[in-house]
Amino acid sequence: MAIGWRARPSRCLRAAPDYNGAVPGRPKRRDSSRVAGVRAALRELEWTGVRRYVQILREAGDLLATRDADFDLRELVDRRFECDSRKCLIWRGGQMLVDSSCCARYRIELTSLDRERLQAMLPLVRERLPESHALQDERQAPWVCDEDYRMVMAEDDHGVCPFVQYDDGRSTCAVHAVCLDEGLDPWDHKPLACSLWPVATLEYRTDGSTRTLVTAYGRATVGLFADDEDDLDRCVCLVDQSPELPPLYESQRDILQRLFGSSLVRRLDAAARTRSPRPRR
């Protein structure tokens, strides 16, 4: 062996570049596919709040997806709900002092179908309203156009829906009462948003198609709506999470089944059986 000889690293020991021309352990060179990926990621910054919320649910396994709708399992299955208007009212000496029900705290948007139904019911409803009631004037409609050009339910002097009546410690709906007296299905005559409460539907765009998120109004979802968060603590049904109350979807089973079919409700039943109770925020 020749004295003084030193081996030099062979070229064959150098890291071979990958198909993008990058050396393992080093950043890859910029190419068109990477640029396209960055652009796609950049578009996420333009997502609406609804789409971001849906993505959070999907990543957490809290989303039930159908062909064109997404169902929020946190709100529909994990959440407890039951309507009892006695919890919303404060009485003193036979006089109602405070009404914190959804009929008093939230203004309902009316569809053209809602207005058509209410107009047809008004003659029967007027028979059950006091003679001094504003709707006894046939020129008075039970809805108004708001600042966003939506047709919304009108309110009385106390900010309450004009169809609300108080009886035996409860608040009742005059339209609902007429339906029961006349043997009619309230679902076919009451405004859709009233029947669904607190379930809410929100439309959003994703990958060029339109989908519907079915969720519910509450503290965890307040960012999806334009309502005042302070109202949440005034509506008892939204904050009462007593374990003995049924899951929200169970209370609204009939309505959800009418809108989305019996197979959807069965899937919610299955989800309820597999999901453990989770603390509410």
pLDDT tens, the chain, 281 aa long: 444 444 444 444 444 445 455 556 666 666 666 766 676 666 667 778 999 999 999 999 999 999 999 999 999 999 999 988 888 888 887 777 788 888 888 888 999 999 999 999 999 999 989 999 999 998 999 999 999 899 999 998 888 899 998 887 788 899 999 999 999 999 999 999 999 999 999 999 988 899 999 999 988 898 898 655 556 667 888 888 899 999 999 999 999 999 999 999 999 999 999 997 654 44
- 139, part of any domain: yes
Same domain? For 192 and 257 the reply is: no
Looking at the structure, tell me whether residues 188 and 97 fall in a common domain: yes
What pLDDT was estimated at residue 215? Answer: 97
Look up residue 29 and give its amino acid: R
DSSP state of 225: S
- Same domain, residue pair 127 and 206: no
For β-strands 209-216 and 199-206, DSSP reports them as antiparallel
Q: Domain for residue 168, yes or no? A: yes
Q: Facing residues of 206 across strands?
A: 209
pLDDT at 278: 57
Question: Is 98 within 8 Å of 181 (Cβ atoms)?
Answer: no
Closest by Cα among 110, 83, 258 to 172? 83
CA distances from 76 to 24, 52, 247, 249, 256 (A): 48, 18, 7, 5, 10
> In whole angstroms, what is the distance from residue 204 CA to residue 49 CA?
9
| 121: number of Cβ within 10 Å | 20
80: helix, strand or coil: strand
Neighbours of 273 (CB within 10 A): 8
Count up the domains in the chain and report the number.
2
Residues 258 and 271 in one domain: yes
The Cα 278–Cα 57 span in angstroms is 14
Same domain, 234 and 99: no
- The secondary structure of residue 209, as a DSSP letter, is E
Written as six digits, the tokens of 182 are 């006349």
131/163 same-domain check = yes
- 220 and 159, same domain (yes or no): no
The sheet carrying 209-216 orders its strands as 63-65, 69-72, 209-216, 199-206
Q: What is the pLDDT of residue 13?
A: 42
Among 196, 222, 251, identify where a domain stops. 196
Interacting residues of 52 by C-beta distance below 8 A, sequence separation 6+: none
**Residues with Cβ within 8 Å of residue 21, at least 6 apart in sequence:** 28, 29
Q: Does one domain contain both 118 and 183?
A: yes
Distance CA 106, CA 268 (A): 27
Do residue 209 and residue 227 come from a single domain? yes
Answer for the pair 110, 153: CB distance below 8 angstroms, yes or no. Answer: yes
Does a structural domain hold residue 137? yes
**pLDDT at site 230:** 56
Q: Is position 62 within any domain?
A: yes
Q: Are residues 182 and 229 both part of a single domain?
A: no
With tokens 């198609």, the residue in question is 209
Q: What pLDDT sits at residue 80?
A: 94
C-alpha to C-alpha distance for 197 and 199, rounded to whole angstroms: 5
In this structure, are 111 and 186 located in the same domain?
Answer: yes
Which range of residues forms the domain containing residue 219?
46-83+202-275
The reported pTM is: 0.79
Placement of tokens 């203004």 in the chain: 107
**Same-domain pairing of 77 and 90:** no
